[in-house]
Amino acid sequence: MFKHEKQLFHPVEVERPNPQYAVLMQEQLGGGNGELKAAMQYMSQSFRIKDPAIKDLFMDIAAEELSHMEMVAQTINLLNGHDVDYSAVNAGEIQTHVILGLNPGLINSSGYSWTGDYVTVTGDLCADLLSNIASEQRAKVVYEYLYRQINDKKVKETIDFLLNREEAHNAMFREAFNRVQDSGSNKDFGVTKDSRIYFDLSSPSPANAFGDTQAKPVSFNNPNS
């Protein structure tokens, strides 16, 4: 069961309208690394998880991502600050002016529709957790790019909050992975000596991170073998 609390997870304000930047923010609403993608991915993955604590973790983070989506949508609304007028946006996505009446839609900054193809579900907890860790890291990168391209202090406060929450989710997923890393695909495969060999195939090759300069298999456990 879900219910909507009529308050944002964190206050959202802008110093002034900025329609061009509102286009950029669409990426975190309907893009491949955005908040809807994260919410749907974690929720979908949770359906088959048997560990109650990890299942709750996935659902709790998914619910929070939906609240982040609401924050991003409100930021876009405030940044638009104008009536339907495509000339207010110099470049980029203009679809919201003709199909959505400036309603923040499930499209990215180029106007492409959100798709379930963004969502990764394997049924293997280790694989899904690693995918989620990577998803949070990619979301952080997008928010960092957004942060660098705006001088509006209020918008930057919102992005800074969202950045910190992405890092929190990243840490939670890493902790969960540490708990289950010897299960599933990690238990059944990748356990022979072949999984612990590094092939140096670069020629000429400088000293690599494992202390070997020859183009031969190198054991991770014994760099000189």
Q: Which residues are annotated as a binding site for Ca(2+)?
A: 56, 60, 202
Q: Is the CA virtual torsion 17, 18, 23, 29 positive or negative? A: negative
- Looking at this protein, which amino acid is placed at residue 84? V
Q: Hunting for tokens 């879900």 — which residue is that?
A: 2
220 phi, psi to nearest 5 deg: -65, -30
User: Mapping DSSP to helix (H, G, I), strand (E, B) and coil, where does residue 198 land?
Assistant: strand
Annotated binding site: 35, 56, 60, 65, 68, 136, 169, 202
Annotated binding site for Mn(2+): 35, 65, 68, 136, 169
Is there a cis peptide before residue 223, judged by omega within 30 degrees of 0? no
219 membership: H or E segment, kind and range: strand 217-219
CB 34 within 8 A of CB 75: no
- Looking at this protein, which amino acid is placed at residue 34? G
217 phi, psi to nearest 5 deg: -65, 135
